């Protein structure tokens, strides 16, 4: 089924009338919770409870069937057993429903029979111009339209949440409540038979009250479509935060058992984030913490942090974390330090970090004065307040009132200066902290969280999504087999320069080839075993005798059908890279560029992107490697030809994008010299069933 054009989701998120199929009077049942939640919206819409027994529920009359309901229904929630699901959908559509929320489980997630039912139902729903959420979902909510069809309360706010796991949706709601942020909309997408994550990202991007989009997904359907939706949302000023699983094989095992979806490999998700500007996180807490940061009025536009606290331990700890996160703690100039010192005790530290050294306890307004001085100094990009602030409110109502005034003063100071303030406090539940949160100042209980969010936002402020590359016309699969020389030929034809090599079978041919190339040469035993760690490659063969020895030894040990005799590349001044591509089931061709050599492989120094690459992106990927200093000419090394290495990566990425029959391809290594590159080995893996 191809994606339908953008659809009107108003009947889903703000129906004029709503029916619950499977409403129940039993408090332990889903149908009871749903009815109770739905009735909260009675002022805004008609809510009709349908129950075959017809007994009253929560003081409301019920109907024995949808047909009995006296008016057309915009949205129908289906919470009945799987056996009656298809019929229920028919009845809903007959009753005029433009939206269906299918709680019912036991369909697509159980096997092919269930998937067939889902497919049939989806076709009917689309034919009727309606939309369907689920099945196997935990409900939806819209805090603007007072629509609550979820088992947990989602507090009002600006986060649009899309979750493939109902329980993680609940966890996110709870964590957000603690953090003082809330939601515009929530959808538990379930099996995504019709409405999927991608369509919801598109919809949320155009939904004014939604300012940040939070996604938990296990299954990406068409990952490039999803990435493109996220990129568009980013462009519209709605950043997308992504939490996913499956970076471990065991994680993937669990996800399969959960939704039957094949989880995309973690590395492909990273590539999609680079293309789209999605912000990937590792846990529900990190998701909400980052959302708090994204919702503040003025996220940081640089990495210079000014730290304020009343106590040396807290400011020292914060300083450590800031430096560890790769941000800077500029020493403040005399002027700024003098301004800060004016109202503080003599023992205060005023150069950054600023330790009020009791000056905050003496007079709470010193917190505000110092934050304001930093925010208007022009010498920092963000202010980080850490430690005890928030705790004075514990002492008395008068202290609480005065601390809250100071909190609002700090919020004003940073609002006026256009700089961000991020707060770590030992007392996150304090009224003064509530005041800060009401002004969109992000507050965290942990210093790691506060600093981590600052660092991610500074990085994010510099981020320009590379875009989701268009796929080229598929190329003919051609007649290329999996062999080494076929791989060299294919990549060579794409413009990647390879080291001279001759295919030989017998020793005499090998000697002739070696003498023509000139010693020293490399001998490779071809077949599946020419990898260096199996001893199928001998470097630095310096004459006929050594060639014979190597040839005989490999012949007896590996029994290869053919050999390659190759010129020995001189690598004294060059650096080796690995350039590869892999076709991901969800995200399509993904390119990987890494530092070569055994040491680099041990450390997995790699960068990834969706194929095909542009030259600029390829250069950017190479420069992002931790080992990049070796290529750019640092530490007395010569500057190497990064442009040529990037051209090789672009060529390989184009090939990977065109050739749908190729699952994996790799050049390992490619030697990057001062001028140009030279590919020293190649490998291609084609689809099973390919030629």
Q: Is 311 in the site for its own copies (CB under 8 A)?
A: yes
Nearest distance, CB of residue 285 and its own copies, angstroms:
5
**Beta carbons of 659 and 635 less than 8 angstroms apart:** no
Per the document, the length of the chain is: 691
Ordered alpha helix ranges (H), 418-481: 431-438, 447-462
Nearest distance, CB of residue 432 and its own copies, angstroms:
16
Chain CA centroid to CA 169, Å: 17
Map the footprint of its own copies across residues 271-290, applying CB under 8 A: 282-286
- Which of 61, 347, 559, 616 touches its own copies by CB under 8 A? 347
Q: What are phi and psi of 311, to 5 degrees?
A: 150, 130
Print the binding letters for residues 454-473 with its own copies: x by CB under 8 A, - otherwise. Answer: --------------------
Q: Is 585 in the site for its own copies (CB under 8 A)?
A: no
Instruction: Closer to its own copies by CB, 276 or 538: give it.
Output: 538
Map the footprint of its own copies across residues 602-661, applying CB under 8 A: 602-603, 605, 626-627, 629-630, 635-637
> Measured between alpha carbons, how far is 467 from 228 in angstroms, rounded to an integer?
8
Q: Is 26 in the site for its own copies (CB under 8 A)?
A: no
- Span interacting with its own copies, options 50-58, 349-357, 498-506, 546-554, rule CB under 8 A: 349-357
Q: Is 426 in the site for its own copies (CB under 8 A)?
A: yes
| 26 CB burial (10 A radius; 0-12, 13-18, 19+) | exposed
Q: Is 329 in the site for its own copies (CB under 8 A)?
A: yes
Closest CA to 414 of 454, 444, 451, 377: 377
- What DSSP designation does 498 have? B
Q: Is 246 in the site for its own copies (CB under 8 A)?
A: yes
> Measured between alpha carbons, how far is 94 from 75 in angstroms, rounded to an integer?
12
Nearest distance, CB of residue 84 and its own copies, angstroms:
19
Chain CA centroid to CA 66, Å: 42
> Measured between alpha carbons, how far is 373 from 356 in angstroms, rounded to an integer?
13
User: Two tokens at 171?
Assistant: 């966890």
Nearest distance, CB of residue 287 and its own copies, angstroms:
11
Q: What are phi and psi of 239, to 5 degrees?
A: -60, 145
- Half-sphere exposure of 7 toward its Cβ, with a 13 Å CA cutoff? 22
Nearest distance, CB of residue 416 and its own copies, angstroms:
27
Tokens 């515009």 correspond to 184
Map the footprint of its own copies across residues 85-144, applying CB under 8 A: 105-106, 109-110
Print the binding letters for residues 532-571 with its own copies: x by CB under 8 A, - otherwise. Answer: xxxx------------------------------------
Indicate the pairing of strand 212-217 with strand 156-163. Answer: parallel
Print the binding letters for residues 383-422 with its own copies: x by CB under 8 A, - otherwise. Answer: ----xx--x---xx--------------------------
> Measured between alpha carbons, how far is 611 from 660 in angstroms, rounded to an integer?
12
- What DSSP designation does 386 have? E
Instruction: Closer to its own copies by CB, 105 or 554: give it.
Output: 105
- Which of 224, 321, 339, 524 touches its own copies by CB under 8 A? 321
Map the footprint of its own copies across residues 196-235, applying CB under 8 A: 216, 218
- Which of 209, 251, 465, 690 touches its own copies by CB under 8 A? 251
> Measured between alpha carbons, how far is 386 from 189 in angstroms, rounded to an integer?
39
- Span interacting with its own copies, options 227-235, 238-246, 366-374, 543-551, rule CB under 8 A: 238-246
Q: Is 322 in the site for its own copies (CB under 8 A)?
A: yes
Strands (DSSP E) along 572-661, which ranges?
575-584, 588-595, 606-610
- Which of 349, 371, 380, 677 touches its own copies by CB under 8 A? 349
- Span interacting with its own copies, options 48-56, 304-312, 639-647, 663-671, rule CB under 8 A: 304-312
Map the footprint of its own copies across residues 431-450, applying CB under 8 A: 445-448
Give the contacts of 95 (CB within 8 A, at least 6 positions apart).
19, 66, 67, 69, 72, 73, 76
Instruction: Closer to its own copies by CB, 315 or 579: give it.
Output: 315
Nearest distance, CB of residue 64 and its own copies, angstroms:
28
- Span interacting with its own copies, options 52-60, 203-211, 227-235, 240-248, rule CB under 8 A: 240-248
Longest CA pairwise span in the chain (Å): 98
Ordered alpha helix ranges (H), 128-265: 166-179, 197-205, 223-235, 249-259
Q: Is 520 in the site for its own copies (CB under 8 A)?
A: no
């Amino acid at each position: 089924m191809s994606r339908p054009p953008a659809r009107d989701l108003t009947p889903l998120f703000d129906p004029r009338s709503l029916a619950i199929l499977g409403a129940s009077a039993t408090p332990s049942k889903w149908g009871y919770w749903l009815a109770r939640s739905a009735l909260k919206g009675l002022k805004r819409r008609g809510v009709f409870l349908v129950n075959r027994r017809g007994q009253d529920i929560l003081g409301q009359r019920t109907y024995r069937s949808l047909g009995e309901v006296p008016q057309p229904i915009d949205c129908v929630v289906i919470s009945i057993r799987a056996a009656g699901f298809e019929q229920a959908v028919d009845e809903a559509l007959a009753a005029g429903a433009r939206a269906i929320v299918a709680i019912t489980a036991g369909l697509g997630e159980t096997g092919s029979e269930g998937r067939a039912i889902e497919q049939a139902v989806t076709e009917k729903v689309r034919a009727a111009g309606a939309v369907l959420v689920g099945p196997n979902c935990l409900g939806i909510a819209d805090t603007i339209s007072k629509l609550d069809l979820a088992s947990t309360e989602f507090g009002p706010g600006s986060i649009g949440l899309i979750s493939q796991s109902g329980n993680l949706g609940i966890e996110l709601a709870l964590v957000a409540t603690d953090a003082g942020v809330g939601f515009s909309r929530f959808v538990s997408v379930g099996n995504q038979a019709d409405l999927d994550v991608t369509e919801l990202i598109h919809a949320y991007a155009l939904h004014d009250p939604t300012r940040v989009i939070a996604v938990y997904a296990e299954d990406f359907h068409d990952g490039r479509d999803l990435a493109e939706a996220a990129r568009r949302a980013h462009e519209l000023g709605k950043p997308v935060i992504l939490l996913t699983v499956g970076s471990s094989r065991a994680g993937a095992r669990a996800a399969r058992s959960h939704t039957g979806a094949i989880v995309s490999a973690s590395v492909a998700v990273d590539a999609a984030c680079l293309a789209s500007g999605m912000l990937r996180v590792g846990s529900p807490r990190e998701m909400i913490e980052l959302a708090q940061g994204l919702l503040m009025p003025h996220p940081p536009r640089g990495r210079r942090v000014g730290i304020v606290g009343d106590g040396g331990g807290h400011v020292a700890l914060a300083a450590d974390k800031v430096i560890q996160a790769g941000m800077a703690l500029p020493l403040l100039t005399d002027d700024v330090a003098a301004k800060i010192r004016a109202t503080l005790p003599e023992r205060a530290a005023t150069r950054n970090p600023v330790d009020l050294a009791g000056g905050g306890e003496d007079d709470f307004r010193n917190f505000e004065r110092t934050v304001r001085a930093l925010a208007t100094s022009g010498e920092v990009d963000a202010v980080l307040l850490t430690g005890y602030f928030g705790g004075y409110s514990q002492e008395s109502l008068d202290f609480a009132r005065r601390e809250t005034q100071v909190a609002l003063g700090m919020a004003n100071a940073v609002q006026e200066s256009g700089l961000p303030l991020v707060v770590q406090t030992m007392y996150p539940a304090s009224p003064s902290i509530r005041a800060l949160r009401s002004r969109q100042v992000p507050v965290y209980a942990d210093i790691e969280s506060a600093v981590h969010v600052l660092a991610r936002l500074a990085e994010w402020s510099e981020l320009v999504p590379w875009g989701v590359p268009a796929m080229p016309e598929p190329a003919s699969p051609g007649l290329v087999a999996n062999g080494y020389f076929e791989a060299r030929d294919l990549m060579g034809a794409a413009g990647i320069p390879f080291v001279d090599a001759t295919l030989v079978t017998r020793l005499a041919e090998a000697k002739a080839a070696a003498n023509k190339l000139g010693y020293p040469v490399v001998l490779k035993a071809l077949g599946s075993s020419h990898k260096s760690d199996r001893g199928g490659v001998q470097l630095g063969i310096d004459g006929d005798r050594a060639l014979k020895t190597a040839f005989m030894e490999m012949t007896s040990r590996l029994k290869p059908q053919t050999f390659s005799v190759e010129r020995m590349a001189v690598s004294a001044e060059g650096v080796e890279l690995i350039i590869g591509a892999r076709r991901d089931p969800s995200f399509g061709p993904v390119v990987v560029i890494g530092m070569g050599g055994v040491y680099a492989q041990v450390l997995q120094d790699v960068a990834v992107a969706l194929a095909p690459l542009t030259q600029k992106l390829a250069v950017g990927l190479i420069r992002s490697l931790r080992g990049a200093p070796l290529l750019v000419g640092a530490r007395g090394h010569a500057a190497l030809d990064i442009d040529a290495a990037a051209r090789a990566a672009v060529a390989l990425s184009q090939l990977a994008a065109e050739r749908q029959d190729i699952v994996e391809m790799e050049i390992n290594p490619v030697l990057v010299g001062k001028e140009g590159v030279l590919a020293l080995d190649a490998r291609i893996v084609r689809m099973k069933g390919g030629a």
